[in-house]
Structure 1
Amino acid sequence: MNRFIWPLVVVVGLVLFLHLGLQHGDPRALPSPFIGKAAPQFELPTLKNPEVSIGSKNLEGDYAVVNVWATWCVMCRVEHGFLLELAAEGSVPVYGINWRDSRPEAIRWLNDLGDPYIASAYDEDGRVGIDWGVYGAPETFLVDPEGTVIYKHLGPLDPEIWQREFVSRMQPAGGDQ
């Protein structure tokens, strides 16, 4: 009888462990090895002008938002209106990384829907996205003035997420902005 009880206890324990772990976790909270570390170094041609490049040096000196997007990404279209509002507000520079996309389609998309980005890097083969640990689009990173990644958000950005996850991290130590 004991030889049947121990396996049953182990199986019940594993089921409870998995159930509790899945119940309390945020499915969008995938770990990023870059949080608290320097943003990955990169230099890519800009989407609209391949003769001009943009890179990690552009992200230093002020807080910066880096948004990974693509025309084939349905959720990128969902968040686009908010990115336009954020860019118009001017509180933080918004940079884009157009990821694994067609340059002509991406340019047409921005021309049709509006361009919220100071500049958008063109990552045709996804190499820089891999360096940044991108799982899929959209993903949005917050980089501090020293060039350190301080937050990563998976999925579309909206005003509530912006206030709760991004603005709170840009507050000076005293809480005044």
Structure 2
Amino acid sequence: MANIKPLVALPPMIFAALAALFYFGMFRDDPDALPSAVAGQPAPAVAVTPLGDKVSFDAASLRAPGVKLVNFWASWCAPCRVEHPVLEQLAAEGVTIYGVNYKDEGDKALGFLRELGDPYVAVGADASGRMALDWGLYGVPETFVIDGQGTVVLRFAGPITRSVLENTIRPAIAEAGGS
């Protein structure tokens, strides 16, 4: 019977520890933000293969003057469809956007762009997901704001909605030196 008493105290101790963890977790700066090891660092390596006859890009493209976005997407990704009109709007405004098609079939990816429009100045395929790993991707869509020296200013995981555009992406573009 002496062995049972310590076990009786275990559930309340576990509950108290979890309650404390949840309580203190509520006071984080941005509870929806995912950590990024690349923010403030030079953009990781670019390792894409051509997507059909689309113009591709490389690491030098990301170091070129001007603010640019790198957007990871896939034709099978429903949130990518949701954010696509916002990317089209940014492209129409003159924002340079590079696309990385993630673990997708080339024909389906090209069909996606034919159907919804192509906001990318250049696009490449990451069929194996290797580039995504180097960039610390959690999933698609994800978008990175890159400054004119090739430094990552912001990593945003999830679809860019109108609200995200105004409250997160545009301020990051301004911080990176864009308008």
Q: Please, what TM-score do these two structures have when normalized by structure 1?
A: 0.85
Find the counterpart in structure 1 of residue 88 from structure 2. Answer: 84
**Counterpart pick for 1:71 among 66, 75, 80:** 75
When residues 9 and 124 of structure 1 are mapped into structure 2, their CA distance, relative to the original with a 3 A threshold, is closer
SS, match of residue 54 in structure 1 = coil
Partners of 1:151 and 1:21 lie apart in 2 by 25
Residue identity (%): 37
5+ long unaligned stretches in structure 1:
none
Q: Please, what TM-score do these two structures have when normalized by structure 2?
A: 0.84
When residues 160 and 11 of structure 1 are mapped into structure 2, their CA distance, relative to the original with a 3 A threshold, is same
5+ long unaligned stretches in structure 2:
1-5
Q: Cα RMSD (Å) of the superposition? A: 2.7
How far the C-alpha of 1:8 sits from its partner, in A, is: 7.4
Deviations 1:89-143 (A, max 9, x none): 11x2011100000001100110111111111111111111111111110011111
Find the counterpart in structure 2 of residue 34 from structure 1. Answer: 38
Find the counterpart in structure 1 of residue 124 from structure 2. Answer: 121
SS, match of residue 171 in structure 1 = helix
Any residues of structure 2 matched to 1:145-160 within 5 Å, and which?
A: 145-160=148-163
**Counterpart pick for 2:166 among 156, 163, 166:** 163
1:59 aligns to 2:48 (yes or no): no
Count of aligned residue pairs for this structure pair? 173
Partners of 2:8 and 2:51 lie apart in 1 by 63
Deviations 1:37-76 (A, max 9, x none): 01002242332327x6411211121111111000110100
